[in-house]
Amino acid sequence: MSALDDEMLALMRFVSQRTILPRWRNLAEGDIIEKAQDELVTVADREAEAFLTEALTKLAPDVPIVGEEAAHADPSVLDHLSGQCWIVDPIDGTHNYAHGKSPFGIMVALADAGEAIAGWIYDPVRDRFCHARRGEGAFVNGDRVEARPTGDEPPVAAISVIFLDQHRRKAVNDHVAPHYRVVETPRCAAEQYPRLALGENDVSFFERTLAWDHAAGVLWLNEARGKVCRPDGSPYRVDEVDRTGIIGAASPALWDVLATLYAKL
C-alpha cells in the first residue's frame, strides 16, 4: 500500500477504536437523532466526522472537506464538490449502527474536478480495508482484486425500494425483479460495493447518489473491473448533487442487462 493508504487505514482504525466501536450497541436514547425522515445520526457519527475532519485538514491543509454531517448543517459545503476536496462519510450504514446491527463502515474519497481519484472503505467489525486510486486497480487489505460475478442463474440482484415512490416500486417488481434472484441490500454502501466485486451480488442500483455514499465505492468497483455509472451510461460525478440513479454490477455485461431493464422504470 502507498503511504497515503497506510495513513488512511491508521486514521480509520483509530476513530473506530476510539469512538465508533465503543458506542456500538451502547448508545443511549439521546445519542440517536432523526435528522430527516428515515435518516438517523448518532453522536458517534458526529464525533467521528469531527476527528476525520481535523486529521485530514492536518494532512492537507488546503483541501476542503465535504462531510455528510457538515453538509447537512450547511448545504453550501457542497460547493466544494466541483474542485479538489475530501469526501467523508463517518459512519455509512448509520441505521444499522444505531440499531446495534452490522454492517456499517467509514468511507473517504479524494475528488478533483467532480471525479473521485482515490477512495477508501473501512469495515471496523471485520477490519476490512478496501482502497483504490484511479487507474491503479482495486485492493482489499493490500491485495489486488478483480470483480467476479456469483455465477448464479438467475443473477443475484440487491435491490432497495426504500427511496422509491409507489409507482417506481411497482415498476421494479414488474420489470426488474422477475429477471433476478432478489436479495435485500445491506442498507450500507460501504458493504454493497464490496459485495458486487467479491462474488456475493451480481447487480444493484441506488436511487439516491450522495457523494459521501458513493464516491469511494464507485471508483473502487470500477477499478476492480466491475461497472458503475449512471443508468444512461454517463460517469458518476460527485458534483451532480441533484441527480439520482446509479447502476452497479460485477461485470459490464451484467450492467448492460440491468440498464436495459432500468430504462423501463
Q: Which residues are annotated as a binding site for Mg(2+)?
A: 68, 89, 91-92, 213
Mapping DSSP to helix (H, G, I), strand (E, B) and coil, where does residue 5 land? helix
- Given a contact cutoff of 8 angstroms between Cβ atoms, the answer to whether 245 and 229 are in contact is no
Cell of 207: 436511487
Cell of 15: 476513530
Q: How far apart are CA 262 and CA 257, in angstroms?
A: 9
Q: Count CA atoms within 13 Å of residue 227 on its CB side.
A: 17
Which helix or strand (DSSP H or E) is residue 229 part of? Answer: strand 227-229
Binding-site residue ranges? 68, 89, 91-92, 213
Q: From 130, 252, 240, select the one nearest 190 (Cα to Cα).
A: 130
Q: From 174, 140, 21, select the one nearest 182 (Cα to Cα).
A: 174
8-state DSSP, 178: G
